[in-house]
Structure 1
């Protein structure tokens, strides 16, 4: 069963009247574009707007689509240096709209689906990347105890646990044999860095299209927290830089082949150095592992998207095309690692 294109508004209104009695009744709901994982709707009540995010329908992989964790972590981050929408209410009663969901405030920003930000001038684009880096630094420096997130994940062995988890997820959704993935699954556990550093909040999917921007290029919110956990301070930086290495592709657009200097975007080495100075966490000669690990993980995610697309319960109509990127992404990881 795929995610519905419309919501049962009478049932949703009844639930919101009880859970959020101070909010006006919803007039209409519109499915928002984007997102391979959890269906998202814009709710409108006169001039006021809210956002609903739900699990997709159909059979799901264990631990996937963790919208309850999204709801918790965003609540903990409200008022912190990491900008987020304000979560308002969570519903685990699947009879209301057909799956668990939560409602949050509407952030009047837009995602930028192309990390080259072609519509911005060099100065604005440079500032946007500077804000993204500042947010990565803020995440790495966040006091998780003070935020009430000390139990949000298990301390230590982050990469070992992640490699095991994503290997299991990949095998559960595997539809064909990919030699590069098999090679990464063998190599990554042998190359993982010491994970005895202080655990920090890891977003888990920190890339440009999970940031919402004002028309002037101000970062308004970080979205899509379903993969967040406590982990290694370099995890999000590695993923962000991996994403910038992707090819110029309509499904997963990257910056490969473009001149960073002409765009006003710092080179990868400069991003890593600036992060290290601001946080005290320097990958050193382990940077190759960080990149390869994230190519592996992204390939595992893409394979999950492919499996859902073949089963008919993917949230996005481009899911099949995204899933077909698995082999390319895995090969890029193997090229970095081996």
Structure 2
């Protein structure tokens, strides 16, 4: 860290933070309370092309001078004297992570709504990034996104599944047969939801207009180029409403004040002018992908328990419930 030009007093203390169970995230703090964040791949066996923290760091560097707030990259190393895996150091952003029910429950309904409505606004800014201007046009293939996603995540399912799940296989076939036409290509975050942003804190005294503003967008591991509606569909998949039980340990968005999925979708469509016709398809695919990711998280925790986050891992029951809910959304959309 000192070799990168950072002032470090004494020793660095490392503490794992966040509830992410793919790439691992740590808070690094020196004796003078200066803070940084470190990211590395999970421990143990990793699937090919997954958990690429160096690629993720490159995306953050490309976004540094855009309208999308991201942490500044401090440095990258693969030096075996320092680390057994690629390691990225970035600035610590002092924002509020609404990643636990205990945090969400402390917020007023007005603040919950402000945070919720800031999410589609941030997505619209991500999708407006000029790919050529910021060196992102070569980030990924420009071929149709849905087919690429289905191929990638169906392959991940086959490599990481812990059992057979015919309902998921059926959903894969239905999604493949119903791919909508793609008319544009933008930067896609790939995993945009409440736990992957930091928002303004109450004590930052930024005024009512900024009380829910996103100050950093995190976890760009799955970022690629593709259909922008996929991001809003994925976000809706992570946004349970009152009375729904498919989301596992975080049902914050069902609390009073948070906007509904319909309100979020309407705000995004208003800001971007995009067509809502394909949105249920992308909502279904988002739920399907979360189920696949959940199975991979469960498998990694079984293979290497040190990968498990404080919140535990998804269960078979939760993954089955996700697939059932995705099937219900697919039925409504006549997919």
**Is the TM value for this pair above 0.5?**
yes
Q: Show CA shifts across 1:232-263 (max 9, x none).
A: 0111100111111374578442368x47xxx2
Alignment of 1:1-338 (within 5 A): 16-18=1-3, 20-24=4-8, 26-45=11-30, 46-114=32-100, 117-195=104-182, 197-216=183-202, 217-245=212-240, 247-248=244-245, 251-254=248-251, 258=254, 263-284=256-277, 286-312=278-304, 315-317=307-309, 321-324=313-316, 325-338=318-331
Answer whether contact 2:297 2:313 (CA < 8 A) is retained. Answer: no
TM-aligned CA deviation for residue 176 of structure 1: 0.8
TM-aligned CA deviation for residue 208 of structure 1: 0.3
The secondary structure found in structure 2 opposite 1:238 is helix
CA distance in 2, matches of 1:270, 1:58: 41
TM-aligned CA deviation for residue 160 of structure 1: 0.4
Gaps of 5+ in 1: 1-15
CA distance in 1, matches of 2:33, 2:312: 36
Distance of aligned partners of 1:232 and 1:252 in 2 relative to their CA distance in 1, 3 Å threshold: farther
Gaps of 5+ in 2: 203-211
Answer whether contact 2:20 2:309 (CA < 8 A) is retained. Answer: no
TM-score when scaled to structure 1?
Answer: 0.86
Distance of aligned partners of 1:244 and 1:22 in 2 relative to their CA distance in 1, 3 Å threshold: closer
The secondary structure found in structure 2 opposite 1:244 is coil
Structure 1 range deviating more: 319-328 or 232-241: 319-328
CA distance in 2, matches of 1:51, 1:122: 31
Answer whether contact 2:38 2:89 (CA < 8 A) is retained. Answer: yes
CA distance in 2, matches of 1:191, 1:114: 36
| RMSD, matched Cα | 2.2
Aligned length, in residue pairs = 316
TM-aligned CA deviation for residue 118 of structure 1: 2.0
TM-score when scaled to structure 2?
Answer: 0.87
CA distance in 1, matches of 2:106, 2:240: 20
Q: Show CA shifts across 1:35-90 (max 9, x none).
A: 11111111112231111111122110111112112101111112322111111111
